[in-house]
Each structure stands twice: as structure tokens, then as C-alpha cells.
Structure 1
Amino acid sequence: MNGSGILLKLTTRAVTSLALNLRQSSRWIKTAGSMGPSPSNPRDASPEAVAQLGKPPKMRKDPAFKKVDSPEFKSIFTPELESLVSLFKKYDYELRIAGGAVRDILMNMEPKDIDLATTATPSQMKEMFEKEEVRMINANGEKHGTITPRINDKENFEVTTLRIDIRTDGRHAEVVYTTDWQLDANRRDLTINSMFLGLDGTVYDYFYGYDDLQERRVVFVGDADIRIKEDYLRILRYFRFYGRIAKDAKRHDEATLVAVKDNAAGLSRISGERIWTELQKIVVGNFGSDLLLEMNRCHLFEHIGLPGKPNLEEFDRLCKALEKFEKPHYPILYMSGMLNSVNDAMAMHNRLKLSAYERDLALFITQHREKVDTDYKSIRDYQKLCIQPNVNRDYVEQLLKYSNKLVLYQQLKSWSKPNFPVNGHSLSSLGLKGKKVGQVMNELKLHWADSDFKSTSEDLLKLVPEIVAKFPSPPSSPNKNKRAKQH
């Protein structure tokens, strides 16, 4: 039997088991809900159930086709990982490395994080760790089939049970546990993310992810349309991994781009926080500007908080300008180039739930960029801007980067702002109260800047009467006068 036939047969059996479990004992589990027991032995499935999983992908005849013994692979074996591996062997549960660590090791990169997958269910892992007196943390992970043991009170490991996605709504999946590594690999998004690595160095690659990695090719496991419909965030994950893996900005698989465009509206169902997490990595990664332009051609922007008609000319100018400045750059700085107005900045914030800093920087850029070279020309103009109320100095520095003012940016970065010699108490002693204190203080700061920040407290306080005259007191209301007379 060929590889596709094997996968279809295994998938058929697994789906049948799930259907029977649903009818007989409701033994389903949800990634967003409580976890349940693993399914019973598989039986025959309906053609409809099999069809919903999509066309089986091209499959390698011998998944365990290669071994690695590289320095990067050896580097992961801390005493804590060795202890964890021994524990799983003792209880006869299989354990393999999954996800990004496999990719990194195969690309001769030392992995930052190690994610592990196992045939043991969460309840089996909990029982095992309790017997061995191993501390477990992050109780919420169990909802998603993940247990996090802390070994030797030194290192944490996320260990996730193999599972099959049976039914999804584009955000969450109903899943059941399995002991079949191939079926777990089949539910993953990209071929380069569907590999496992045994603790003996054996590479388990069911769907030619290794070949795609060597060719720097980014494609979905099996049917791209079905993989995307399982979780629409995978659209953005595709672009993020393209930036990490591909060697050329324009070597996209055309069938994949068609599936992305067809499912663009699905991103409207994904939370802004999840979208922004992916978007930030895309825009500052390799080919960031090219990838954003491709995303625009796929009509994604209106669903992820960016203008339907973005300012592409300004974005192109900005990307070229930022090449002259030292990296890294804030992702929100790049995104600001796409915006046409302050309203666009607020719409982006409302959709993506930006941090207060990101929101205010986007607003600052869109409010002030038109004043560059008109209101703001010299270093003194930008220094004055820095001392305005509610203006973060970093915003001004980012505006200079945005506007391609390298010399002014360097001058402002090296400027040490002196302490302003006047305080509120000084103005109160002159009889100023309420809002007038702030108004006068702001005017005095501008005079201070014009003196090259050399005016003393005495010099500035002499200017107070002249400044006060510019801000006449508002007339008292009749009711206020009446109350004063009564008292």
C-alpha cells in the first residue's frame, strides 16, 4: 500500500473511533475546555467524516529516514532533559521533540525552546509525575493536552499529548488523543512544522518537511484550504515562517496564495491580540515589506486592522529610509507608514488592541509627520517638541527615523536635556493657580529652549507677567458670584 493509502486508512480508523465515542460516551475534549480520556480502539468511519479531513498529503515511505548527531542536537541534553527522558522510558511512554526545535536543529541552529510530544495522556503524565514527586506548573496547559513538569527545580518542559483535530470553527478545535505520530503530524499546519525528532537523533518526517526545509519551501500539510479553515491564524503563520525560511521574497507557492486569498475573511474571526503577535514578527523579519505587500494583494488588510487602501507609496519610502538606521525598529513604526490618517491609527488600535505606547506612537506619527520640514526644521524645534506636555521623547526620535532625518536623529539621541529651573511652587508663590500654572510653565519652557536652555530661574520668572497677560482669566459665572455674596 502506498503512503497516501496508509494515511487514508489510519485517518479512517481514527475518525470512526471518534464518531463512536461521541455517540456512546461523549468522550470528546476541547482545546478550550476540560480534557477528557483518550479514545478507544479505532473502527470503520463514514466517507463523510474522512472527506472533511481533506486529501491525504504526499507521504514518505520511511518516515524514520535520517539520524542527526550535530552539536546543535547535543546541546539540548541538559541533566534535566536526561532525567525527563529516563522517566518516560521507565513508564514506557514514547517522547519526541516537536515543532520549532526540530526545524532549528536541522538548520544547524541551536534551539531556544524545546517542545516535547508524547503518547502519554495528560492524566497518565500527571499520575507518573505525582508518583515520582515531580512538581507540575501551569495548570491551564492541561486544557490543551499539555503538562509542564519542572525538573530538579531548575528547568521546565512543555509536554503535549498526541492528538487529532476532528472539528474546528476556524479558531478552536475539538480533539481526541492518539498514540499515532503520523496522525498528529497530519493535523499540523506546515510540512516544516510537522516533523519530530527522537531523543536518539532519529528524524521522523512523514510529509517531506525535511526536503521542503532544505529547499527553503513553505507549504501546508496536504490541502492548504482545509488546513487554513482549521485555524485562520495559519494564514499569518504562513507569512511569518516564509520570512524565516525562504531565501527569496517572491517564491510563494501559487496554490497556497490562492487558498490564503479565498480564506482572507476568516481572519475577522481571530482576536486582535493573536493577529498582532504574528504581524509584529512578520514586519520586522526577513522580506517584511515584501510580505506585507503580498498580504495586501491577498486582501488581508481590511480583516486585520489595516486600511483597505493603504498608503503604499509612503510605506515603501519608510522601509527604504529605515535601512539607514540601526536596527531593531519597532513593528508599529513600520505599520504607521501604511496609515493614511489619525483615524486609521485608531482603527488599527481598536482591531489589534495595541499597547498604550504603540497606540500613542502611531497617533503621534500620523499627527506630526506633515509638520516635518515645515514646523520642524532644526534640532531646536525637535528639542522643543520633546519638552511639550504629554510628549514622550522617544516619540520624537521615532518621528525623525520615520522622516529619514539621520543627522537630526543622531543629534537628538546624543542630547542630554538639562533640568528645567522653574517648578510649580515658584509659580504658585506668584499667585498663579489651577490651569494657569500649567499654561505659564509650558510657555516658560519654550523661552528656556530658545535661550539654548541657559536661562536661569530668575530670568524666566521675570517673564511671568507678560505670559500671564496672554492668558486672561475667564469671566466668573453669575451663579458663582451669587454664591460668593451669600457667604
Structure 2
Amino acid sequence: MLQKPHMKDMFQAAGIRMINNKGEKHGTITARLHEENFEITTLRIDVVTDGRHAEVEFTTDWQKDAERRDLTINSMFLGFDGTLFDYFNGYEDLKNKKVRFVGHAKQRIQEDYLRILRYFRFYGRIVDKPGDHDPETLEAIAENAKGLAGISGERIWVELKKILVGNHVNHLIHLIYDLDVAPYIGLPANASFEEFNKVSKNVEGFSPKPMTLLASLFKVQDDVTKLDLRLKISKEEKNLGLFLVKNRKDLIKATDSSEPLKPYQDFIIDSREPDATLRVCELLKYQGEHCLLKDMQQWSVPPFPVSGHDIRKVGISSGKEIGALLQQLREQWKKSGYQMEKDELLSYIKKP
């Protein structure tokens, strides 16, 4: 066993700055070079694993390091002279677009249960078509799915987000439910698959945020709250999920109008929140309103031309009255298609 990775000595000798030493006990050094961070990990052997963490020893044996990796396509090494070191036929799997565990799937998964989600994630990146799985792999996943209950929500969310924006997402989410993985990663038991199937088609090719597609599985806002409790998603992601579940049926285009985008524009005007336009764009992706999405992305939110100060100038000083008048004028302005200017709006006010 080596006492420490020799690469640390190499960086120190070269005067290269190293930051964030949290990974050092696992053999990972973060080097800061040319204004970028590079994570470099030395060769390791897993001595003890508990499905979440591993105690490691450092080694100089490339094959032993390859043996502890999750997937064959992740266990290859390239020498400085271009020589490929491939102990588990990862290159062939990559050419054939196959995702396989190194050695026995069950053993690899039990070393770190997050590898279940990594399998799905790489499947969405590598494989040409859905449904091309080894039966042994699916069996190992189903048998060990409950192990994900012990994995931190943050780690799960990192992988799940990548699954949601990868290929074959409809197939993979259904598989996550079929193999009983869903309960252990915060997904609702009573999922709305009809909605999910529709939305997964709507968003194809439109780069939705992960939550945009995930929200289609949720029937009520409480499903978003429960997901957050399990996965510790960001405030922005949680608010987007709550927004989509609440507004996906109520906030829809005006079907009997020459201005089908106006309900969405009015919502943005009324919300007065800086990220309202981004949320509405995600909603339009969710709903499959691709023409409206293009129009919305080109629309700039017009500033409301009247302020409380303007109303005070006409002799009204009551704060409550000013607030009510501003709301009335805002409604007039919205009806005009945001065209009315300040003087025209102020002319509606009856002077005391």
C-alpha cells in the first residue's frame, strides 16, 4: 500500500496549486491550472465497501483499478503513446453501443448502489435503441434497488437529472418503475404515466430542464414537496416543479383570440418575478406549444409606465388608494396589449 498518491508530490514540485482536499483520502486531487480545475485520481483498490462509500488503498496496478470500476466503457486507460489498456472489452462495448457492468452486475451494484442510476444514465448516452438490456443486469438492479434508500439525495439527483435530459428517457423512467427503483429515489408511487408519455413527446428536441419532464409524473404539488425532502433539489427546481403542476392545465393559450400568447404574457406581467419568463417557456415546452415558445423567447417584458409617484402627482396620497389605482391601470394597460402610455393611463384617474 502506498502512503499517499505520488501525483501530489509531482504537483507540489511543479508549483501547481491544489484545492479542495476533501477527496484526498480517496486518492483524488483537484489541480488548478490555466484558470480551470482538473480532478485527477490515482489508481485505487476498494478494500471495504458498504454500498455508499469505500475505503481505498492506492496501487500502481492498472488492472486492479479497472476491476473496481462500474462499467466496461469506464474502465479503459490511454497511455501517453496512444496505447489503449482495456481489460474488460470496453472498447468493443463502446463500438457496439452496449452498457455492461465490469464483472458481475450484482457485485458492482452492491459496492455502490448509485451505480444503478449510472447504468441508466450511460444507457441514455450510449445505446441506440431502448430495450437492449442484458437480463442479468436488470435482475441485479431489481434485486438491489432498495439499496438506493441509503444513498444521499444529492447524489441521486445528480444522476437522475442526467437521465432526464438523455436519450430514451421515456423507456428509462418506465424501467425505473418496473424494476421498483422509483420508491427509493423520491418518485411518486402513484405516477401519472399518461401525462408523462404525452409530455416526453412534447419536449423532444426542445432541451427541457430536468424538472420540466419530471413534473409530468406528479399529480399534485405535494409530490414535488416529497421529492424535495428526499433529493434536496434547489429552490429554483422546486419552484419550477410547483409552478408546472399548478399551471399546466389552467394557464393555456387563448383559443378564440388572435393573441394566443397573451395569457402567458399576462401571467408574467402579473407575477413580476425575474424568472417568470423562463418558467413560462418551460411550461410551453411541457404543453408542446412550440410555436408559442418561439414567440415567447423573442418577447421582451414591457415596463409598466405608471408608478405610485405618478399617481401622487395628481393629488392622491392614500397608499391603499394608490395601490388599487395602480392595479386598475395595469388591467387597462394589459387590455391594450401593453400599448397605452403614461399620460393616457393617468387620464383614467378621477382627480379629487
Name the structure 2 match of 1:360: 239
**Residues 386, 155 of structure 1: alpha-carbon distance in 2 compared, 3 angstrom cutoff:** closer
The answer on 1:369 being equivalent to 2:248 is yes
The answer on 1:454 being equivalent to 2:342 is no
Q: Deviations over 1:375-398 (max 9, x none)?
A: 887322222111113551222222
**Residues 333, 125 of structure 1: alpha-carbon distance in 2 compared, 3 angstrom cutoff:** same
The answer on 1:196 being equivalent to 2:77 is yes
**Residues 438, 196 of structure 1: alpha-carbon distance in 2 compared, 3 angstrom cutoff:** farther
Distance (whole Å) between structure 2 residues aligned to residue 129 and residue 357 of structure 1: 38
Distance (whole Å) between structure 2 residues aligned to residue 425 and residue 268 of structure 1: 56
Which structure would you say has the larger RCO, counting Cα contacts within 8 Å and 6 or more residues apart? 1
Find the residue that maps to 1:441 and give its secondary structure.
helix
Between 1:240-249 and 1:396-405, the stretch displaced more is 396-405
- Aligned residues of 1:388 and 1:442 also touching (Cα < 8 A): no
- Aligned residues of 1:376 and 1:382 also touching (Cα < 8 A): no
State the shift of 1:208 in Å. 2.0
**Residues 336, 225 of structure 1: alpha-carbon distance in 2 compared, 3 angstrom cutoff:** same
Structure 1 residues 370-389: aligned runs within 5 Å: 370-373=249-252, 378-389=260-271
Distance (whole Å) between structure 2 residues aligned to residue 134 and residue 395 of structure 1: 42
Distance (whole Å) between structure 2 residues aligned to residue 382 and residue 136 of structure 1: 49
**Residues 129, 208 of structure 1: alpha-carbon distance in 2 compared, 3 angstrom cutoff:** same
**Residues 463, 305 of structure 1: alpha-carbon distance in 2 compared, 3 angstrom cutoff:** farther
The answer on 1:297 being equivalent to 2:178 is yes
Structure 1 residues 71-470: aligned runs within 5 Å: 121-122=4-5, 124-149=6-31, 157-323=38-204, 327-373=206-252, 378-391=260-273, 392-427=276-311, 430-433=316-319, 437-438=322-323, 440-461=325-346, 463=348
Distance (whole Å) between structure 1 residues aligned to residue 166 and residue 251 of structure 2: 28
Distance (whole Å) between structure 1 residues aligned to residue 143 and residue 346 of structure 2: 67
Between 1:128-137 and 1:294-303, the stretch displaced more is 128-137
**Residues 414, 143 of structure 1: alpha-carbon distance in 2 compared, 3 angstrom cutoff:** same
**Residues 401, 376 of structure 1: alpha-carbon distance in 2 compared, 3 angstrom cutoff:** farther
Distance (whole Å) between structure 1 residues aligned to residue 144 and residue 348 of structure 2: 64
Q: Deviations over 1:404-450 (max 9, x none)?
A: 2233333333333322111132345522326x655543443222110
Please, what TM-score do these two structures have when normalized by structure 1? 0.65
Q: Deviations over 1:75-133 (max 9, x none)?
A: xxxxxxxxxxxxxxxxxxxxxxxxxxxxxxxxxxxxxxxxxxxxxx42x3333443444
Q: Deviations over 1:26-68 (max 9, x none)?
A: xxxxxxxxxxx638xxxxxxxxxxxxxxxxxxxxxxxxxxxxx
- Structure 2, unmatched stretches of 5+, are none
Please, what TM-score do these two structures have when normalized by structure 2? 0.88
- Aligned residues of 2:253 and 2:262 also touching (Cα < 8 A): no
Find the residue that maps to 1:388 and give its secondary structure.
helix
**Percent identical residues:** 45
Distance (whole Å) between structure 1 residues aligned to residue 169 and residue 299 of structure 2: 32
State the shift of 1:254 in Å. 1.1
Q: Deviations over 1:119-165 (max 9, x none)?
A: xx42x3333443444443443332221234456x5776433221111
Distance (whole Å) between structure 2 residues aligned to residue 402 and residue 307 of structure 1: 19
Between 1:286-295 and 1:232-241, the stretch displaced more is 286-295
**Residues 304, 375 of structure 1: alpha-carbon distance in 2 compared, 3 angstrom cutoff:** farther
**Residues 464, 280 of structure 1: alpha-carbon distance in 2 compared, 3 angstrom cutoff:** farther
- Aligned residues of 2:120 and 2:163 also touching (Cα < 8 A): yes
- RMSD of the alignment, in Å? 2.6
Distance (whole Å) between structure 2 residues aligned to residue 139 and residue 215 of structure 1: 38
Distance (whole Å) between structure 1 residues aligned to residue 165 and residue 350 of structure 2: 52
Name the structure 2 match of 1:93: none
Amino acid at match of 2:139: V
- Aligned residues of 1:386 and 1:393 also touching (Cα < 8 A): yes
**Residues 440, 365 of structure 1: alpha-carbon distance in 2 compared, 3 angstrom cutoff:** farther
- Aligned residues of 2:224 and 2:242 also touching (Cα < 8 A): yes
Find the residue that maps to 1:371 and give its secondary structure.
coil
Name the structure 2 match of 1:483: none
